Amino acid sequence: MNGYTSELKELIKKVEASRHARVERARKNQHFPALTMEQRKEWLNKYHPDYKSDGRRAVKVGPNKGEVFPEEVVNLLESRSRITPKNIDLTKIDYETDVLVIGAGGAGTSAALIAQENGRKVIVATKLRHGDSNTVMAEGGIQGADQEGDSPYYHFIDAMGGGHFSNQPDLVAALTNDAPVALHWLESLGLMFDKYPDGRMLARHGGGTCRRRMHSAGDMTGAEIMRVVRDEARNRSEDICGMRRETAQKI
Ligand SMILES: Cc1cc2nc3c(=O)[nH]c(=O)nc-3n(C[C@H](O)[C@H](O)[C@H](O)COP(=O)(O)OP(=O)(O)OC[C@H]3O[C@@H](n4cnc5c(N)ncnc54)[C@H](O)[C@@H]3O)c2cc1C
């Protein structure tokens, strides 16, 4: 329990004290009633950092001026740049590239590979070790409408509904239309997707989906995605260069 705040320690005690009763309820198939939409709203507004009104303020300067974010993000946006322009000599070029990718998780590394496949020289700058990312932590799976009876159209509708219709439709359309191609591309790089014995892709339901389109690699789908894209980037290291952290920070 070392390392936990006193508030967290109190919460852990509550969870431990109620564990037996909760397990008993589950055993008797007595489930807790779902919250109503009003109750959900009330709880989100009270506790969720994206909904709470306190701890947020408007940005005073820069392109985001007037937009309201959590205090910590605003402090960062309003802080002085770590770059000192007079220390940069633009007549002396250390690195030259067609594409600079900043952040090498699943998205960044894939973008680097696709740019390279299209004949571009690429530099990837990432702040931790290559692959230290959210991608590597994803367990459940990756969705794509590649099954009979499914279509990117249904995937689009599910994703828009899942986002309470607040997502950007053009981005969701790009994601859902490209998803089957992305699955195919990952498999061509060696990703070991879960399959039926006859070789067809195994697809499960994800939350709120009207078709089975969740593709997995055991319970370590993200780690498996990162394994193949990182290996591939390293195999193409003549065209995709990694920039060391210190160099990226200096810039
Ligand atoms: C525990 C967990 C489980 C999840 N499960 C699923 C799932 O089952 N299915 C699903 O679809 N999604 C899941 N997600 C969400 C999914 O993992 C992410 O949406 C997705 O991996 C994001 O990919 P990305 O490449 O955009 O970001 P990341 O994988 O986070 O990569 C961003 C990279 O940028 C680097 N970086 C950040 N800032 C800088 C900087 N200033 N300079 C240089 N580099 C920087 C980071 O170090 C990192 O390597 C899960 C997420 C988590 C955390």
User: Where in the chain are the domains?
Assistant: 6-47, 140-219
Cα–Cα distance, 163 to 201 (Å, whole number): 26
Q: What's the mean pLDDT in 2-30? A: 92
Q: Could you report the per-residue pLDDT of 151-186, keeping only the tens digit for each?
A: 999 999 999 999 999 999 999 999 999 999 999 999
Which atom of ligand 1 sits closest to the CA of residue 143?
11
Check residue 251 and give its pLDDT: 38
Cβ contact 154:210 at 8 Å: yes
Q: Could you report the per-residue pLDDT of 191-217, keeping only the tens digit for each?
A: 999 999 999 999 999 988 999 999 999
Cα–Cα distance, 109 to 101 (Å, whole number): 8
Check residue 128 and give its pLDDT: 87
Closest residue (by CA) to atom 15 of ligand 1? 138
Cα–Cα distance, 193 to 213 (Å, whole number): 13
Select from 228, 247, 195, 249 the least CA-distant residue to 113. 228
Closest residue (by CA) to atom 14 of ligand 1? 138
Ligand 1 binding pocket includes 129 (Cβ within 6 Å): no
Please state at what angle helix 221-235 crosses helix 106-117, rounded to 10 degrees: 40
Cα–Cα distance, 30 to 13 (Å, whole number): 23
Cα–Cα distance, 156 to 173 (Å, whole number): 6
Check residue 1 and give its pLDDT: 65
Check residue 31 and give its pLDDT: 84
Ligand 1 binding pocket includes 242 (Cβ within 6 Å): no
Cα–Cα distance, 251 to 147 (Å, whole number): 46
Closest residue (by CA) to atom 51 of ligand 1? 138
Cα–Cα distance, 141 to 149 (Å, whole number): 20
How far does the centroid of ligand 1 lie from the alpha carbon of residue 85, in Å? 31
Q: Which of 134, 155, 186, 193 to mutate to test the pocket of ligand 1 (most atoms within 8 A of CB)?
A: 134
pTM of the model: 0.78
